[in-house]
Amino acid sequence: MDRQFAQRRRRDLVVAAGLIVLAALAPLLVKDVYVQNIMVLTLMYAALSQSWNILSGYCGQISLGHALYFGLGAYTTALLFTRFGVLPWFGMFGGGVISALIAMALGYPCFRLRGHYFVIATIVIAEIALLLFQNWTFAGAALGIDIPVRHDSWLTFQFTRSKLPYFYFALALVAVAWFVTWWLEDSKWGFWWRAVKDNPEAAESLGVVVFDSKMGAAAVSAFLVAVGGSFYAQFVSYIDPESVMGFQFSLLMALPAVVGGIGTLWGPALGAVILIPLTELTRSYIGGSGRGVDLIVYGSLIVLISLARPQGLVGLFARRNKASAR
């Protein structure tokens, strides 16, 4: 079993490297700006969902308030850049650290809650933060922040003539989030998280420090999500509380992992590749009527996928592997 596990991990790493190389070549074939925009958003949400999956999938602490960390990353970068001239790269790191610290501070009382009580707490905290930012004058309040575009440069991380730099940064972000998850999966923390998810009492009786493991998962997850928020702020050049801290962002982080396979290595990426293009295409082509047809189609497909494969789409590959082994 140890040999098979090691072989599977090496195979996952090789497959991931191959997919990253193929994805890096995709913009050479796709010239349409609209399609490139969908590709950037797909990669961004794949990274966000992978980060969300660390806390909610592996550790079992279902959060529907991760929009808080996404917004903190976006606002930290935007405020430092517009108010003090700090380069986005420093704001990106600073937003990640701030989000990790806040995640641990909020986790201190919230991780004493379980089940639906914890889920409700994460939603309430995120909504409170949204209201605070809507009334915070220094951060632009409800009007938000317009990030001035100076010139195309990696130094200021601003590009107006092409979306390819954003595409490659989003691809790098996905690669980092995936590799961090891959590395943690076989570490002490990864085994602790899965034990806490399955049975916290049994895990604690075997020496697992349950509270510390939850705090560690929250910090890593919040840091990576905040980096994604910083990237989004630079990508759109304008943010307001609703556009970066709304409840829809928490859902869009969770849905790819749930559809693809929560608590799995490949589930978030697979779910994002299916759901995000579906979201954008249905909104563009059948969302103009104002009757919500795009939402009906989108929601119906999610329900069908969930009913057909409750364990996620990665279960299809697991079943195929078992069949071939026989």
What pLDDT, on a 0 to 100 scale, did the predictor assign at position 295? 67
Amino acid type, 107: G
Class of residue 250 by CB neighbours under 10 A (exposed 0-12, middle 13-18, buried 19+): buried
Question: Do residues 33 and 167 make contact, with C-beta atoms less than 8 angstroms apart?
Answer: no
pLDDT at 278: 86
Looking at residue 174, its pLDDT comes to 97
pLDDT of the residue at 325: 46
pLDDT of 225: 98
For residue 238, list its beta bridge partners: 146
- DSSP string over 48-73: HHHHHHIIIIIS----S-THHHHHHH
Radius of gyration of the chain (CA): 20
pLDDT for position 323: 47
Range of the domain at 18: 2-325
* DSSP designation for 147: P
Cα gap 4→271, rounded to integer Å: 26
CB 55 within 8 A of CB 217: yes
* CA distances, 156 to each of 96, 121, 139, 234, 271 (Å): 18, 37, 20, 9, 32
pTM for this one? 0.94
The predicted-structure confidence for 237-267, as pLDDT tens digits, reads as follows 999 999 999 998 999 999 999 989 999 999 9
Residues of the chain with pLDDT under 50: 1, 323-326
Whichever domain contains 254, its CATH number is 1.10.3470
Count structural domains, the chain: 1
Strand extents, DSSP E, the chain: 145-146, 238-239
Tokens of 131: 């209201």
CB 88 within 8 A of CB 234: yes
Determine the pLDDT at residue 287: 67
